[in-house]
Structure 1
Amino acid sequence: MKDEKNSFLSLKQFDQEPVYQIKVKSTYNYEVLVNDVPVLVKYNDYMNDNFTEINSAILSAGTQQVAVKIFPKSRPDGTLLSKLEKDIPFRLSVERTEWTKAGDLAEPEALVSYELPQARGGAQIDYSTLSEFMDTLSFTASVPYTLNGWQQSVDLRKMNREKLEADVVSFYKKLKDAFETGDLDFYKKAIAPAELLVYQASYFTKDEALAKSSTWYRFVEEKHGLEPLEPYTLQIFGSGRLVCLRGVNAPNKGEGVLRYLYKKNGMNRMLTYDLLLHQPAAGGDFEVIWFKHYDKNFFKGMAR
């Protein structure tokens, strides 16, 4: 326990700890990226009000870029319609809140509000003719920390695509094996850089970071069988410096491929470990530099 606590000694607290979050309301499917990090993804017909904190995609104060990719709605079987539609709203807001001394989040302040434009370049947009729609916006963040993250990592776009995919798949298989065999040493080494980044961006105290990590250490030690990685697609983010495997079919289309299906209170649940890898130095090992967890009802198929 002492060694784990020492690994979080670099975490800092600040007088002001602003938290940035994105809210989306739409029946469309979409992907929202902050600084080319996928922070909010929807490919289903029921999660029409979505919300997420985005600090872990903000490495330093200043202007932050948001990309919005909008796709047709889902059918009940999880497949997508071929086109967008007329008069279907898409509303997005970027908000700023802050941790108070009482340990609560202050009332959010709206920084940016976005809706689908009716025209572009002087011409009306007929959404019913489009199979997708993309747009960008920006906002200013005043986070007190500066994180190196993946900014100096290898540009993976310059690597041979087949070799890159083989190396990434090999890493995922080793991490999946760590979950299934209880290889805590491999898990700790692989996830350590991401823990420091995510916990600092979340303003965790050392004790909070230890408690969060210990929960996952216990999960690994318990040896849980995960779902198969396939089918997947390799995707590159972070201006070429982040890479991951993401699902291509419902129910985890656009999400991570490390998934644990289970039952809770009679309900089928799916726990997804979404992560992004980087390569700190050319020819070196991959490591996890960003992660996010999803735990949601699983409506299609049976849990273990």
Structure 2
Amino acid sequence: MKKLIRIFLLSCFLFSCGQAQKTDKQIIQETIYTLKVTSGNPYESYVNNMVLEKNYLAGSSDSELIINDLILKSGKQKLQIVLLPNVGNKTVDKLGIDYLTLSIYRYNNGYSSYLEQKSTLIYEFKLDDPHAEMPLITKEWIFNIDVPYKLKNWEHSIDLRKENEDKLLKEVVDYYNHLANIINKGDKKSFLAIMKVRDSEVFKSLYNDTELIKEDEQYIDNRLSKSIGNIQPIKNYNIMFYGNGRIVTLEDKKGETPLFAEDKNDIYSYQIYLHRPYPNAPLEVIR
């Protein structure tokens, strides 16, 4: 479901990228970056201390996800991987270590090259054999990326790990319940207001124009319509910190959001990441 959540966040790009007309100059500047993970084990991947994917499914997987919204500015970026044992094992075996590959791809001509899968491999990472059985393996790498934008940074937000955890948890859960009520009523105006900063940052990182933003709003409106009266109670969650403690969210044991609607046809998940921009400020959605 974590992958589906990111597809929702990037929906206007994935759904509409072939429909808008771009000039040659615009296309050249609209570079898309992805992380491809090939693994025979469950894993977690992070870019710049923000979760990209939590894949706890058994068996081999081959996943490629856009990372533009987690690249805040040009320069050094951090990639982290947590490799976990397969079901029934207590440690990560050598086969799992050898099989894991992480690749950063660049799509030089934006939408058109992404659709046509015309990419350039710019980085590839492998795990070193630790020569010992381990219950999990964590590794990080630093790499350089150039982007033509600068996104709102949470580096100067409040370190939420230093706050009273009980009070913080209550504030986070209250925020989730407030958003749940908005979704349950299908209050599109209030929903878009809460998501305004997040959406604008994601749109900027994906170079979305007015037409694509409008189509994304239509997609959101459709999801909200299907979610009316179907939001499930917020439960079975853990508080999780990302972005060096400056981002907080709720997740269940599978790494999935506890905020979702469910009807007879589908599950509609709403993942949010909150930050406190300055002391005593209310929490805000940042991703």
Q: For 1:26, which of 28, 33, 39 is the aligned residue? A: 39
Deviation string for 1:159-192 (max 9, x for gaps)?
1111111101110111111111223333122111
Match of 2:84 in 1: 71
Does structure 2 conserve the Cα–Cα contact (< 8 Å) formed by 1:100 and 1:106?
no
Q: For 2:192, what is the secondary structure of its paired residue?
A: helix
Q: Distance in 2 between matches of 1:277 and 1:39?
A: 15
Distance 2:101 2:168 in 1: 36
Partners in 2 of 1:56 and 1:24 — Cα distance? 18
Pairing partner for 1:194 from 183, 195, 198: 198
Counterpart CA distance in 1 for 2:163 and 2:107 is 40
Give the counterpart letter for 2:56 in structure 1: Y
Residue pair 2:28, 2:108 contacting (<8 A) in 1 also: no
CA distance in 2, matches of 1:101, 1:192: 23
Once the two structures are superposed, the pairs formed by residues 238-253 of structure 1 within 5 Å of their partners are 238-248=243-253, 253=254
User: 2-side partners of 1:232 and 1:47: how far apart?
Assistant: 27
Q: 2:270, 2:230 → 1: CA distance?
A: 13
Matched, 1:206 2:210: yes
Map 1:74-223; keep pairs closer than 5 Å: 74=87, 81-88=89-96, 89-100=99-110, 104=115, 107-119=118-130, 125-126=131-132, 129-222=133-226, 223=228
Counterpart code for 1:243: V
**SS of structure 2 residue aligned to 1:275:** coil
Q: Which amino acid aligns with 2:244?
A: S
Cα deviation, 1:42-81, whole Å, max 9, x if unaligned, reads: 0112561111000000010011001111111236xxxxx4
TM-score, normalisation: structure 1: 0.78
Distance 2:272 2:95 in 1: 35
| Pairwise CA distance, 1:227 | 3.2
Q: Is the 8 A contact 1:66 1:138 kept in 2?
A: yes
Query: What residue identity is the alignment partner of 1:247?
Result: D
Q: Percent identity?
A: 26
Q: Deviations over 1:74-98 (max 9, x none)?
A: 36xxxxx422223222111111113
SS in 1 for 2:270: strand
Amino acid at match of 2:94: K
Report the Cα distance in structure 2 between the residues aligned to 1:174 and 1:136, rounded to whole angstroms: 36
Distance 1:15 1:179, change over 3 A: same
Mapped to 2, the partners of 1:179 and 1:54 lie a distance apart of 27
After the TM superposition, which parts of structure 1 deviate over 4 Å for at least 4 consecutive aligned residues?
Answer: 100-106
Contact 1:98 1:106 (8 Å CA) reproduced: no
Cα distance in structure 2, aligned partners of 1:181 and 1:47: 40
TM-score (norm 2): 0.82
Structure 1 residues without counterparts, runs of 5 or longer = 1-12, 76-80, 120-124, 291-304
- 8 Å Cα contact 1:149-1:197 kept in structure 2: no
* Alpha-carbon spacing, 1:102–1:191, altered in 2? closer, same or farther (3 Å): closer
1:255 aligns with 2:260: no
Q: Counterpart of 1:236?
A: 241
Q: Deviations over 1:179-220 (max 9, x none)?
A: 112233331221111000111111111221121023213432
SS class of match (2:90) = coil
Tell me if the contact between 2:27 and 2:109 (Cα under 8 Å) persists in the aligned partners. no
Is residue 277 from structure 1 mapped to residue 274 from structure 2 by the alignment? Answer: yes
- Tell me how far apart the structure 2 counterparts of residues 139 and 257 of structure 1 sit (CA, whole Å): 33
| Distance in 2 (alpha carbons) for counterparts of 1:70 and 1:261 | 31
Distance in 2 separating the partners of 1:14 and 1:152: 32
- Is the CA contact (8 Å cut-off) linking 1:236 and 1:244 kept in structure 2? yes
Q: How far apart, in 1, do the equivalents of 2:94 and 2:111 lie? A: 47
- Count of residue pairs the alignment pairs up: 258
RMSD between superposed Cα atoms in Å: 2.2
Q: C-alpha separation between the residues in 1 aligned to 2:188 and 2:112?
A: 36
Contact 2:234 2:258 in 1 (8 A): yes
Give the secondary-structure state (helix, strand or coil) at the position aligned to 2:45.
strand
Contact 1:97 1:105 in 2 (8 A): no
Q: Secondary structure at the match of 1:271?
A: strand
Alpha-carbon contact 2:42-2:84 (below 8 Å) kept: yes
